[in-house]
Copies of this chain bind each other. A is one copy, B any other.
Amino acid sequence: MSSPTPGPTPRPPVDALDCRILLLLLHEPGIGVLGASRRLGVARGTVQARLDRLQRTGVLRSMAPDVDPAALGYPVTAFCTLEIRQGRGGHSPVVEHLAAIPEVLEAHTITGSGDVLIRIVGRDNADLQRVIDRVVDDEHVTRASTVISLATRLDHRTVPLVEHLLDLARGGTAP
């Protein structure tokens, strides 16, 4: 199965410069291409080419702003594990049902008995119950077990991961 590759670096999707550009943009979003090139001491065209490539390869998924549901009036977050009625057709009909509910922000098919994990938000606990009721109001959903997020301790961070890759790129390509 697995080929015994001696090097722990099979194929680096990003190199050190890519990571530095990403970190700069993550920390100072409005810095721009020219600012980043000045800060990193490289040519502007280089930064632009790297950014184009990062966007092509999907590393930079979107430049859209991050909207906070809590500030929009939906401060309560919860995670629901849904049990789905076993049957042909897969999860597609369930996903369609979930996609129609704006308070469902995320949905994953997960390991287990063919289940789905979703992230939902609500205006308050009562509103959350309304959302859950709407989620389970589907013939394919047989059961929902919900946990409420009491506090977000780490939120949607990718900076440490990029920093880690930067360390790997520094120490991995030198020797």
Contact = CB atoms under 8 A, between A and B. Distances in A.
Interface of A: 2, 11-14, 22, 25-27, 29-30, 57-74, 77, 79, 81, 91, 95, 98-99, 101-112, 115-118, 121, 126, 147-158, 160-165
Given A65-B29, A154-B95, A161 B102 contact: yes
Nearest to A1: B126
A27 B167 CA distance: 34
A57 to B, nearest CB: 6
Contact of A65 (B25, B68, B153): B25
In the assembly, how many copies of this chain are there? 2
20 contacts: A14-B73, A22-B65, A26-B67, A29-B64, A29-B65, A59-B67, A59-B68, A61-B71, A62-B66, A67-B162, A72-B161, A72-B165, A79-B79, A98-B154, A102-B161, A106-B154, A106-B155, A108-B149, A112-B147, A115-B147
A105 B63 contact: no
Contact of A13 (B72, B115, B121, B163): B72
Among A77, A98, A108, which residue has the most Cβ atoms of chain B within 10 A? Answer: A108
A89 B74 CA distance: 29
A104 to B, nearest CB: 6
Given A91-B153, A154-B104, A65 B67 contact: no
B72 A157 contact: no
Nearest to A148: B111
